[in-house]
Chain A
Amino acid sequence: SYELTQPPSVSVSPGQTARITCSADALPKQYAYWYQQKPGQAPVLVIYKDSERPSGIPERFSGSSSGTTVTLTISGVQAEDEADYYCQSADSSGTSVVFGGGTKLTVL
């Protein structure tokens, strides 16, 4: 089955830049999306179509794509950014949705 691969954890100090990657073979052909999930809450969309930011999402959140890897970048990380982050895309057919395994961002 098709999989999106994320690192299990990323740690950064406040004010630093956090980068979370997501890799898969079909990513050059499919958009990727990113969600933030805090404990006990539903996921919230933070990036769509690789690099677009929904209204209400702070500018410190950005996304990029290069080949088979997409990256969520959080610049000037704040304590409130500590959460699980999931990438989402589709398989090569475009019809079957898949989520990455999630990355726990720890703000030291």
Chain B
Amino acid sequence: QVQLQESGPGLVKPSQTLSLTCTVSGGSISSGGYYWSWIRQHPGKGLEWIGYIYYSGSTYYNPSLKSRVTISVDTSKNQFSLKLSSVTAADTAVYYCARVFLMYDFWSGYYYPNWFDPWGQGTLVTVSS
């Protein structure tokens, strides 16, 4: 079955860019049919959706983070990545990647996100000098 694994630095300095990669195994990102998403969870808090990407490169971001977020995909490596710029201590969180089931709407031509399954194990990123 599909499995996801996050990787990247666990410590990032304030004002720098946080970079994480999610490697997908057991399935191909380029086969389509799913979005690929990043979600984060501040310590002791709830889940916050960051954004998602389709294998074609189409993206959609949380409006509250949009100005600082870039999600990209590398189908040759079966990976997708997150970059979050100008980080502060408020960006300290566990970052998860997940596959998103989607539904195609014929009239709008848009693929709507549905549920997230499976999730990666998550990786803690601490922003500190």
Among B47, B52, B60, B114, contact of A49 (Cβ-Cβ < 8 Å):
B114
What residues of chain A lie closer than 8 Å to B47, measured between beta carbons?
Answer: 35, 43, 86, 88, 99, 102
Q: Which chain B residues lie closer than 8 Å to A58 at the CB level? A: none
Which one of B18-26, B69-77, B85-93, B118-126 is at the interface?
B118-126
Separation of A31 and B13 alpha carbons in the complex (Å):
39
Which listed residue, A35, A95, A100, touches B116 by the CB 8 Å rule?
A35
* Chain B residues whose CB sits within 8 angstroms of the CB of A42 once the complex forms: 96, 118-122
B113 at the interface (CB under 8 A from A): yes
Is the Cβ of A88 less than 8 Å from the Cβ of B46? Answer: no
* B96-116 interface (Cβ within 8 A of A): 96, 101, 105, 110, 112-116
- Contact with B60, one of A1, A43, A95 (Cβ below 8 angstroms): A95
> Could you write out 20 A-B pairs with CB less than 8 Å apart?
A1-B63, A1-B64, A31-B114, A31-B115, A42-B118, A42-B119, A42-B120, A42-B122, A43-B47, A43-B116, A86-B47, A94-B110, A94-B112, A94-B113, A95-B60, A95-B112, A97-B37, A97-B49, A97-B113, A99-B46
- CB-nearest residue of chain B to A6: B46
Contact residues on B (Cβ < 8 Å of other chain), bracket: 20 to 34
Q: Which residues of B contact A (CB under 8 A)?
A: 37, 39, 46-49, 52, 60, 62-64, 96, 101, 105, 110, 112-122
